Amino acid sequence: MLRRATARPGPLLVADLFAGAGVYDFAAAEARKTGEAEAGIGRLLAAAGPLPELVAPLVERVRALDPGGRLYPGSPELARAMLRPCDRLVLVERHPREHAALVARYAGHSGVEARCEDGYRLLARTLPQAGRGAVVLVDPAYELEGEETRTVEALGRAVARQPAAVYLLWYPVLERAQSEAFLGELATCGLGGALRVELGALPDGAACCLTASGMAVLNAPRGLERWLARELPALAALLGVRGPRLVARLTGRPAARRRQPLARSLSGAPR
């Protein structure tokens, strides 16, 4: 998405609304406890032969960050590496420790701003800005009660304000019925027609845990749907996963292509 967005003229705003710490240590206790790194990026790093085009740039970036393979670049690090001098990266993280890690890592980088704020509030009221290209990543943990509702409400307000931006929404699949209900709500708030992509590690209902990850992409580049449909089978085979794969469109009507003036600027000061 960022490769396509940065190929266009004009400045780009990238907003990562649940940014985390930016870079993660595979040797940390939490990473070792879940085993997700070994089952995911660990398999890709150890793969022999050419990698699927879908993940080859990620593996290249992981190796560039740390040839030893201990550190993993989160979305802030991946975005920062791809942006041009004219672009701006806004990293939002409410957790004080992770926000401090962002500040320490990106303090000297021009065009990168780390903010300790509520990502939902910024999405609903301020981000993205009208009048400039924007890519907005929304990937909350969905650990708190009512987070799905907050996500739908905030996205609905953002899309109504700036329907031309690219919105990337990550969602987990734990119980299929719950995930489908959430996606149905999204389709009514302006994300109708958004591209929906899922890769499942396990069949639906196989365990009381995360069985699949999904992404809803509003204003996806032309051709992305066909490309993902070609790439996902090769990635699934490489990872050894046996859950469902899906590339489809959300039902519902898209938001009207109308920009509305912002009540506040990005800095929060009245316009």
Q: pLDDT tens digits for 101-156?
A: 999 999 989 999 999 999 999 999 999 987 679 999 999 999 999 999 999 999 99
Q: Is the pLDDT of residue 268 over 60?
A: no
Type of residue numbered 135: V
- Structural domains present in the chain: 118-253 (3.40.50.150)
Distances in whole angstroms, Cα of residue 86 to Cα of each of 45, 130, 203: 33, 17, 44
Can you give the three-state secondary structure of the chain, one letter per residue? Answer: CHHHHHCCCCCEEEEECCCCCCEEECCCHHHHHHCHHHHCHHHHHHCCCCCCCCCHHHHHHHHHHCCCCCEEECHHHHHHHHCCCCCEEEEECCCHHHHHHHHHHHCCCCCEEEECCCHHHHHHHCCCCCCCEEEEEECCCCCCCCHHHHHHHHHHHHHHHCCCCEEEEEEEECCHHHHHHHHHHHHHCCECCCEEEEEECCCCCCCCCCCEEEEEEECCCCCHHHHHHHHHHHHHHHHCCCCCEEEEECCCCECCCCCCCCCECCCCCEC
Query: Using one digit for the tens of pLDDT, what is the confidence trace for 27-86?
Result: 887 767 777 888 899 999 999 989 999 999 999 999 999 988 789 999 999 999 999 999
Phi-psi region of 65 (alpha: psi -120 to 50; beta: other; left: phi over 0): alpha
Higher-pLDDT residue of 262 and 248 is 248
pLDDT at 36: 81
Q: Is 71 left (phi over 0), alpha (psi -120 to 50) or beta?
A: beta
Q: What is the mean pLDDT of the chain?
A: 90
Q: How many CB atoms lie within 10 A of CB 88?
A: 18
Summarize pLDDT for 204-250 with one digit per residue, the tens. 988 778 999 999 999 999 999 999 999 999 999 999 998 999 999 99
Indicate the pairing of strand 166-173 with strand 133-138.
parallel
Q: What is the pLDDT of residue 257?
A: 58
Output the pLDDT for position 256: 65
For residues 255-261, average pLDDT: 52
What local confidence, expressed as pLDDT, does residue 209 receive? 84
Residue 225 CB partners (closer than 8 Å, separation 6+): 195, 247, 249
Q: What's residue 167's pLDDT?
A: 97
Phi, psi torsion values for 159, nearest 5 degrees: -65, -35
Closest CA to 22 of 118, 88, 95: 95
